[in-house]
Amino acid sequence: MKTIKRNTIMKLLPMVLVLFWTGCDDLDFPDPNNPTDDTATLQSLITGAEAQLRSGFGVYIRDLLVIGREAYYLEPADPRYTGELLRGPIDPGGFLCYTPWAANYKVISNCQTILNSADVDAGAKGFAQTIQAYCLMRVLYLTDTNGARLNYDGDINAAVATKAEVLAEIERLLDTGYSDLNSAVDCDDQTDGVQFCFNLSSGFDGFNTPETFAKFNRGLRARVAVHQDDFSTAQTALTACSDWMNSADGDVGVYHVFSSGANDGDNQMYEDPNAATLKLMVHPTFLTDADSGDARVTNNVLVRENTVTYDELVSNLAPTLYYGSYDPVPIMRAEELQLLQAEVHIGNANYSGAETIMNTIRTIAGVASYSGTDASNAVDRILHEKRYSLFLEGHRLGDMRHYGKTASLPLDREGDAVVTFPIPEMETPG
């Protein structure tokens, strides 16, 4: 179970330079984010994919947080953050739409190059398929019913896949990737178990072998299954990573890492909460809807004396999740898996099981336990717990869509709406 001050873990993960790990192959390439088939090595493709996962991350997470009413991004230099994201329509030719799309598909392209290689082992294929699935998830979090592309050849005349087709492909990639990870052979012939033939950053510490990375794969599989109410599949996936799910520290997981090194990037979620002006501000309802004394609020939000006001939006709540510009950002943590397990219990009408999990988390947060969880209140309770436990991790929009509750998201101004991203303009013919 997590320690409530989540940013404590941010001090503990080593900040290694993501772009320059050593591996089984020499790193001899001009651009790790765009390697050619002639110059790319397995390590360069893996490194490039992981590095590219963070490219455009700031825009991607702001998109999710603002539309999901977790936060505002009050940027006077770019009113699209308070206009398009809160009112719509989203400009299909604008950077809010295209930046996260392009970043995710660059990762997918790197992974596809791995999969198209005749001489890569099963471990590398399992990694590539898992990351491809994760990137398609990220695209779908924004586009939702507008779908995504499953053709990676650049042909904009090819049909865009529906949401159902994209979800089916995500499932296929994760399941095939899991099988490949389980059949991986050892790369170094040492006595330390089966190892990948490449290195990963410190963000994958504890998940950097085929066996342990497979747990991350199953965590993602559980996430996508829950969002489709496929509770049997979700339970099987959670059982396969139960030791991770049941970690005493809910922060154990997979992270994006950053550093100040050359060619590396920073955590674009961080701002000094005491600065005179801030851009990323917590939505006021995060405080007003909270249980009194909830440590997930008091430890992760600063109530400022001075408010920030822009475009008729006002907040005095600054996030304090991170201590500095190079703190890691979660991709998936044990606490999310615990809450997914609670959702599975709810889906199977095991309300007492869900209540036990939620109450364990609430006890650590210093708030009263639930009682009498049943069909009438279970969904609202799990949504509340996910909102506060997974604060600013970008899950709320998808969760509210899943349960058909986007109409409950606050609309702060006349004309505001909950919007969905279109397919980018450059991805459509004409």
Instruction: Check if the beta carbon of residue 358 is closer than 8 Å to that of residue 382.
Output: yes
The reported pLDDT for the residue numbered 40 is 65
The reported pLDDT for the residue numbered 192 is 79
Q: pLDDT digit string (tens) for 269-282? A: 999 999 988 999 99
Sign of the torsion angle spanned by Cα atoms 89, 93, 96, 101: positive
Beta bridge partners of 71: 282
Beta bridge partners of 302: 318
CA-based nearest residue to 388, from 420, 410, 366: 366
Share of residues in the chain with pLDDT > 90 (%): 85
Give the mean model confidence (pLDDT) for residues 305-314: 95
* Residue matched to tokens 């397990």: 341
Domain coordinates in residue numbering, the chain: 6-266+274-333
Mean pLDDT over each residue of the chain, to the nearest integer: 91
Q: pLDDT digit string (tens) for 336-381? A: 999 999 999 999 999 999 999 999 999 999 999 999 999 999 999 9
Q: pLDDT digit string (tens) for 68-118? A: 999 999 999 999 999 999 999 999 999 999 999 999 999 999 999 999 998
Instruction: Check if the beta carbon of residue 209 is closer than 8 Å to that of residue 181.
Output: no
Sign of the torsion angle spanned by Cα atoms 120, 121, 126, 131: negative
CA within 13 Å, CB half, 101: 23
- Band of pLDDT at residue 15, cut at 50, 70 and 90: very low
Question: Residue 1 corresponds to which tokens in the numbers above?
Answer: 């179970």
Instruction: Check if the beta carbon of residue 205 is closer than 8 Å to that of residue 13.
Output: yes
Q: pLDDT digit string (tens) for 194-231? A: 999 999 999 999 999 999 999 999 999 999 999 999 99
At the top level of CATH, the class of 6-266+274-333 is mainly alpha
